[in-house]
Amino acid sequence: MIKLKKDKVYFVGEIGINHSGSIKKIKQYIDLANKYGIDAIKLQLGTPSRFTTLENKKRFNLRTKTMVGTDKIDALVKYAKKKKVLLFASPITEDYVSLVAKKFGVIKVASGDINFLPILKEANKTKKLTIISTGASKLNEISNIFKIFKNKKKVILMHCISNYPTSIENANLINIPYFKKKFGVNVGYSNHVLGTSACEVAITLGARIIEFHFTDNKKRSFIDHQISFEPKDFIKLKNKSEQIIKSIGTKRFNQFPSEKNFKELRKGIIYLNDLKKGMILKNENLGFARPATHLSFDEIKNVIGKQLKKDVKKHYLTRKGDFK
């Protein structure tokens, strides 16, 4: 099950149809996920004739060729579990929602189905965690989701831009904190920007689940391969994410432990003249300069009127032992 944490990013490798319908290839992607630390691998499952019209024969034939048979799912889930990788799927047609919920325990709704009530209502009925991408949506369409899903703990929104690839200036990542505040749910990011920069910014803005297309070779012909991360890209992102999480830290209430020498930066009280033992200190005898290792500038009221116990030098710090 997916459990998001503040101090860790959950990574989902979307292999879509990058496996070309090969069970062996899917297992290889699961192996790569296990090797490099990708938390989950995601498939797309559905009935081709319910997904795309027969008028688009190329797309229909591609989906038919690459669709994973339902008889193969149990073995794949078992294999992924053995490799400590979560396997789940997007039901791209409504007849697959209950199967996806039963077999994987997590449902991913594709951006194209954000307003498709048959999938949304079926997903809600399962009471399983449902991750919903928001690409190409209107704000009211996102709001309408929560007329169906009343339990917000069972929903994760994914900010997404439905453009392949998405240019960095069109990533609009400000929607991550915006959606989180507006809808009161966890918000992640589904990436279509080339490179890892957008994902890094998304993490900085609070996304703790990042989805990216995943391949073993970007040079393969289908466009999903070209916009995908190879293992080397993911390694870079994972390392960056750990640095980003560390850099975010905690809110300031006091000096942080790393600032233990903060008094070196503060102004202390100094003598403005060479003064003799027995003198009564006046305001005109005192000034301020770094550091505040003995007396801070705001303690001057406790120094004025004190009698010196010894001679003191001009531009030297005052010390409690200097006066009575």
pLDDT in tens, 103-124: 999 999 999 999 999 999 999 9
Do 10-248 and 257-322 agree at the fold level?
no
Q: Is the pLDDT of residue 223 over 70?
A: no
When pLDDT is cut at 50, 70 and 90, the band that residue 1 belongs to is confident
Q: Which percentage of the chain shows pLDDT scores above 90?
A: 93
92 neighbors 49 (Cβ within 8 angstroms):
no
The token pair that represents 244 in the structure block: 């980003």
The token pair that represents 58 in the structure block: 């190329």
Q: Is the pLDDT of residue 219 over 80?
A: no
When pLDDT is cut at 50, 70 and 90, the band that residue 79 belongs to is very high
Q: Is the pLDDT of residue 274 over 90?
A: yes
The class level of CATH for 10-248 reads: alpha beta
The token pair that represents 236 in the structure block: 């870079």
The token pair that represents 150 in the structure block: 């009343």
Three-class secondary structure of residue 45 per DSSP: strand
Q: Quote the DSSP letter at residue 201.
A: H
Q: Would you list the domain boundaries of the chain?
A: 10-248, 257-322
317 neighbors 270 (Cβ within 8 angstroms):
yes
Place of tokens 């991750």: 131
pLDDT in tens, 172-204: 999 999 999 999 999 999 999 999 999 999 999
Of the CATH numbers 3.40.640.10, 3.40.50.2000, 2.40.160.60, 3.90.1210.10, which one belongs to the domain with range 257-322?
A: 3.90.1210.10
